[in-house]
Structure 1
Amino acid sequence: MPRSRPQTRIQQKNSEAILEAALEVFSQAGFRGATLDQIAEGAGLSKPNLLYYFPSKEAIHAALIQGLLQIWLDPLRALDPAGDPVAEILGYIRRKLELSRDFPRESRLFANEMLQGAPRVQGPLQDDLKPLVDEKAAVIARWVTEGRLAPVDPYHLIFSIWATTQHYADFDVQVRAMLGPGHDPFAEAQTFLDHLFRSSLTPPGKS
């Protein structure tokens, strides 16, 4: 991790440059394929200079993942138990799509880590993500019990939202190749997913 003492402006700039370069390298090459030399070159620093800020590739990766998890958790945290159930879930879908649009490299970084068995994020998954998912799944289950949502498994609903929204970041090239020029994948996805989830989550007899 970066040194704990307060950083000068130059040190902060260099730390940010390292993390930005590492994000690019890790999102393309994965953890195993990334090297400190590639990250240092991308940051415009020598390798010894890079190691002044981060002692290892693992430390850089951990800093990126920790920051990414906070960004990734915010849309789910915003799901309001006191709100209208369908509107709250559609809002969550919208926020997840916006993340996929605005942070595609971060999405691919996380996907690469999951595909490798999440060896470096088991702690954050259990300590940060799981309690939040459990909490929001309980809210969704309550909405179903109250008849305010159509019957749905809360966990698989959340998983399906992740799959359908993050697809547009992780498979951006494929999506754009299939749609062809003149399309806005994220705007079109928003319209489609809004209709798909609204129709499947609205309780029978309600419109």
Structure 2
Amino acid sequence: MDGRNDIAPRPRTRIQRKNSRAILDAALEVFSQYGFRGATLDQIAEVAGLSKPNLLYYFPSKEAIHVTLLAGLLDTWLAPLRAIDPAGEPVEEILGYVRRKLELSRDYPRESRLFANEVLQGAPRISGLIQGELRDLVTETAALIRGWVAAGRLAPVDPHHLIFSIWATTQHYADFDVQVRGILRQSPARTHQGALDFLCHLYSAALAPGGPGLAPPFDH
């Protein structure tokens, strides 16, 4: 071998890393507001404080920026589900998942809206992950919940619809933040605590062993 293929790429300079982060942060702001179709490179460059040619030096297209953001987001999004402990107490493990998802909505509202916009547009850039890694993880978690129900450690529940309902009730506080703030007119900390208290009470009451559960009164 002549060694030419063993030459490592040059590390980015501090300025290059700074500009790349500025572009991604600006793109997150623009994409979360306008979605992929509504966002433009000109908007992203303006928010980043860079010229459009300078932006294109770092990312060759709007799609390249979007894919980079989604790739970084997905690991963060899947982490709370992966953190459910099969050896833990079932109700507490599910409530822990609710807490983690609500914290994500509080701490990463733009990322939540980015993901929601992508899904609303048919998920053209993450459909493979939804039908692959995400589906596999949800299937694995659903089997765990189903086992807890069978062992009498949870009230009857459809595990998939339980997971979907947790997504809906927690991500609402990020995706519909303007609506929530407009109605409640209270501090974000008070809103978060109120949502956490309500959702933990809701799910703990519904899932406690011996209770009625959340299973439908008929077979699908």
TM-score band by shorter chain is over 0.9
Q: Which has more radius of gyration?
A: 2
Per-residue CA deviations over 1:45-88 (Å, capped at 9, x if unaligned) read: 11111111111000000011111111111111100011000000
Matches of 2:51 and 2:187, distance apart in 1: 43
Corresponding letter in the other structure for 1:149: L
Q: Displacement, 1:5?
A: 4.9
Q: Displacement, 1:182?
A: 5.7
Aligned in 2, Cα 1:28/1:182: closer, same or farther, shift over 3 Å? closer
The 5-angstrom pairing of residues 79-98 of structure 1 reads 79-98=84-103
Per-residue CA deviations over 1:145-165 (Å, capped at 9, x if unaligned) read: 111011101110000000000
One of 194, 198, 201 as aligned partner of 1:195: 201
Matches of 1:172 and 1:135, distance apart in 2: 31
Q: Give the percent of matched residue pairs that are identical in Structure 1 and Structure 2.
A: 72
Equivalent position of 1:6 in the other structure: 11
Q: Is residue 2:119 matched to residue 1:111?
A: no
- TM-score (structure 2 length as normaliser): 0.88
Corresponding letter in the other structure for 2:135: K
Matches of 1:123 and 1:8, distance apart in 2: 34
One of 180, 200, 217 as aligned partner of 1:175: 180
Q: Is residue 2:147 matched to residue 1:121?
A: no
Corresponding letter in the other structure for 2:183: M
Q: Is residue 2:139 matched to residue 1:134?
A: yes
Per-residue CA deviations over 1:8-60 (Å, capped at 9, x if unaligned) read: 11111111110000000000011001001111111111111111111100000
SS of the residue 1:64 aligns to: helix
Corresponding letter in the other structure for 1:7: R
One of 154, 163, 167 as aligned partner of 1:162: 167
Matches of 1:97 and 1:189, distance apart in 2: 8
The 5-angstrom pairing of residues 133-152 of structure 1 reads 133-152=138-157
Supply the RMSD in Å over aligned alpha carbons: 1.3
Matches of 2:28 and 2:10, distance apart in 1: 24
Matches of 1:37 and 1:182, distance apart in 2: 34
Matches of 1:15 and 1:127, distance apart in 2: 29
Matches of 2:128 and 2:68, distance apart in 1: 13
Corresponding letter in the other structure for 2:32: S
Moved over 4 A (4+): none
Q: Displacement, 1:127?
A: 2.9
Q: Is residue 2:71 matched to residue 1:71?
A: no
Equivalent position of 1:62 in the other structure: 67
Corresponding letter in the other structure for 2:31: F
Aligned residues: 202
Q: Displacement, 1:176?
A: 1.7
Matches of 1:182 and 1:10, distance apart in 2: 37
Matches of 2:10 and 2:144, distance apart in 1: 41
Equivalent position of 1:185 in the other structure: 191
Aligned in 2, Cα 1:26/1:177: closer, same or farther, shift over 3 Å? same
Shifted more, 101-110 versus 116-125: the winner is 116-125
Q: Name stretches of at least 5 consecutive residues in structure 2 with no aligned partner.
A: 1-8, 212-220
SS of the residue 1:177 aligns to: helix
Q: Is residue 2:210 matched to residue 1:204?
A: yes
Q: Displacement, 1:197?
A: 0.1
Equivalent position of 1:15 in the other structure: 20
